[in-house]
Structures are given as structure tokens and as C-alpha cells.
Amino acid sequence: MQKLKNRVAVITGGTSGMALATAKLFVEEGADVFITGRRHAQLHEAVEAIGRNVIGVQGDAGNLADLDRLYETVNAKAGRIDVLFASAGAAGVAPLGEITEDHFDEIFRINVPGTLFTVQKALPLLSDDASIIMTGSMLNAKGFPATSVYSASKAALRSFARTWTVDLKARNIRVNVLSPGSIDTPLFATVPQRVQDDFVSLIPRGTIGRPQEIATAALFLACGDSSYVTGTELFVDGGVAQI
């Protein structure tokens, strides 16, 4: 039986990697899916790759006007949201002493207020038993060089999950953070090989994660299988943050 049959899902930043794999799985499990992306060509390619039951809406999760346009489209086409996966994010490294204002502003703009307003602006459309999932990172629980700004931005999402769970409890809306570790995505491929090798060496199973492994965890948080799970952080990192 399809776990998301007749459900409506919105996935921001859904044009590549983990979010694209999740969109594909959600459609396979019966959902009608809306995805967003900043680049028109990449968004078109993602919609083509998913193939059915998907609508792409171009936009930047850190831009409030773009978010308004996204939800106007969702309202017109579907009228509600059952699963909101706030997956759009920005990453970057800079050691303490070399952090610039632009570096800080770009990462925080998308990861913190971008996520906050992605959720807040969706509230009128969210079903009373909806699931909200945010993409965190195992880096918010571990100290790695040059990641302080990115790690702090993801730690904010963990705090959001706790407080929003209380804010939304009257509506039975669940809020959770899905925190990946090193995953074989186009973004990870841009990291220098030496750094990639260092990260992989920390994984107890000895191999990097796959986008599909994040997608199945997102499906768990999206569907009724996780009906008693809220306000928490699910690490999908091969155990790196746990040891």
C-alpha cells in the first residue's frame, strides 16, 4: 500500500541530491508533489526526472515573495499541504578569523529565516495532521574545522523543531529535523578529495551515504509510520554524530 496516497507534499530545494531523491520516492508512494528550485533549467530537469504527479515552482527559499508565489500555486492547484519538507539550504566553510559578513549572511539567510518563513507562510495551507520536516545536519552536533556558521545555522533548526512542536500541538502537526551526514550528492562532489576521504573515514560502516537513504528516512517522518514521533532530530549519518 502506498504510504502517501492522496497526500500533498511540498519540497523546497527539490532539484538535486537528497531532496530530489525524496521527491521521487514521495511520488512513488502516492503523493502529489510540488518542488522548488532557484534555477529554471535545473528545475525543469528535476520535473522531467520525477516524471509524474509533480509541479515545479521556481524560487528562492530565502525570498519572501518567492515563497508567497509558491504557496499561491499550491493553494490554486491542491488547496492544502500534508507534508512540508523544508529542504532548501546553503553551505560553506570558513575558519574563525576568516568569516566574512557575506559568508554569514548568505548561509543564515537561506537556512534560518528561509526555513522559518517557509514554514510560517505554509501554516494556512497545512492540514491539521500535517508533518513538517526540516533538513538539518550532523554537523550541528559535532565540531569540525571551518564549519561554525553552517553548523550554527543548522542548530537553529533543531531549536525550531522543539518550539514549533509546542506551538502547533493543538493542530496535531508534527515537526522533526532530518540530519544527514556525508551523502553522495553533487554538492559533496565539489569538496576536495582529501576532505571527502577524511569525512568517510569517520563513518563506522566505512561508506558514504546515498540520497535514497535520506529519502526513506524522510518518508518515515512524512507518513503515519512516525505518528508518535515529533520534536526530535533523526540522524541519518552512519553513526558519525553518535560516537
Catalytic residues: 150
Rounded to 5 degrees, what angle do the CA atoms 137, 13, 37 make?
A: 155
Coil vs helix vs strand at 157: helix
Cα-Cα-Cα-Cα dihedral sign, residues 132, 126, 60, 57? positive
131: β partners:
83, 174
Coil vs helix vs strand at 132: strand
CA separation, residue 185 to residues 8, 48, 167, 190 (Å): 26, 19, 34, 9
Instruction: Give the integer Cα–Cα distance in Å for 152 and 53.
Output: 36
